Amino acid sequence: MVLNQLQPFTEHARPLQLATLPDPVPAENEILVRVLACGVCHTELDEIEGRTPPPQLPMVLGHQVVGRVAQTGRNAQWFKVGDRVGIAWIFSACGECKFCRTGRENLCDDFRATGRDVNGGYAEWMTVPESFAHPIPEIFTDAEAAPLLCAGAIGYRSLKLTGLQNGQALGLVGFGASAHLVLKLVRFQFPQSPILVFTRSEAERTFARELGATWAGDLADPSPTKLDAIIDTTPAWKPIVEALRHLERGGKLVINAIRKENADQDYLQRLDYPTHLWMEKVIQSVANVTRQDVREFLELAARIPLKPEFQEFELAEANQALWELKSRKIRGAKVLRIG
């Protein structure tokens, strides 16, 4: 499924089209992967609508890719044919800058993103440098593993950045693929921590309660406790400002979004220093995920075991899956079944 043209995603739009492309050939340090499943991520909407556009078109989107190694490049040696691997957002990085040299390739200026800068997993085949492929633990099916590669891994990184300790209260603003995995993770890692979920959608609130949220409501509601940490996964600005009212002194709000939509950016004018920021409140963004994040998270998720709630679509139904994401018909994650 290829993106040929950037466009606003409206109800009857079909931004992705089925196409037949030449089979990719692995370069010497790459592996060729037969794709079996690919997760659907909000970042695809940011790409289609031009907030983080592919530098060239057509482009095959998709960066939560699970597949089996079908061929190895001449110098590739870590995987053998038949191994199951995952491919995440970072497809490659320069390997030489101060960030790459300290395990922070997520901040590398020259990193290339899977499914944005190079063809990704909304396809039957893809190639990837072997050092950016990740072994998938046995315990997961292909479809279960796919959402772990972005939604799960970025949720894991966001949670690490909050510095949450067991017993401290966590707020989740928005309750999609990433947040529902964070909720499951926190219940395991920090069983004493109350988890409050803020979302406008009654269906998402119900889902959050089913998964064990302590409380679920709207940001305008009085919350039962101040929050030591908040993770925001919404595409908007209003929730940021509103969430800061609920943040405890010295607390941290982590924004897990590659781009915010601009529709309600004016709302930032309502930021009131004493109410929203004073008392050492911290706001931090989370950018991409490192290989270490992905691998640590996959191992942790296998141990728990932590499995996503998800809904499957055929590859040719990718537009439908994306539209449901855009229109917030969300219950956990969405996965394209390909192999």
Can you give the binding site for Zn ion, defined by CB under 5 A? 41, 43, 93-94, 97, 100, 108, 150
Minimum CB separation of residue 289 from Zn ion in Å reads 9
> DSSP 3-state assignment of 180?
helix
Query: Whose Cβ is closer to Zn ion: residue 59's or residue 219's?
Result: 59
Q: Rounded distance, CA 151 to CA 180, Å? A: 9
In angstroms, what CA-CA distances link 241 with 35, 183, 205, 249? 41, 22, 20, 15
**Nearer to Zn ion (CB atom), residue 41 or residue 126:** 41
Q: Nearest distance from residue 145's CB to Zn ion, in Å?
A: 14
Nearer to Zn ion (CB atom), residue 111 or residue 215: 111
Minimum distance of Zn ion from residue 338's CB (angstroms): 17
DSSP for 283-299 reads EEE-----HHHHHHHHH
Our CB check for Zn ion shows the closer of 92 and 223 to be 92
The least CB distance from residue 226 to Zn ion, in Å, is: 30
How far apart are CB 296 and Zn ion at their closest, in Å?
A: 17
Sequence-ordered list of residues with C-beta below 8 angstroms from that of 141, at least 6 positions apart, any chain: none
**What distance in Å separates the CA atoms of residue 129 and residue 91, rounded to the nearest whole number?**
7
One-letter amino acid identity for 191?
P
Are 177 and 39 a contacting pair, CB within 8 Å? yes
Minimal distance in Å, beta carbon 273 to Zn ion?
A: 33
Q: Which is nearer to Zn ion, 248 or 296 (CB)?
A: 296
DSSP string of 202-261, one letter each residue: HHHHHHHHHTT-SEEE-TTSPPSS-EEEEEE--SSSHHHHHHHHHEEEEEEEEE--S---
Q: What kind and span of H or E run contains 171?
A: strand 170-173
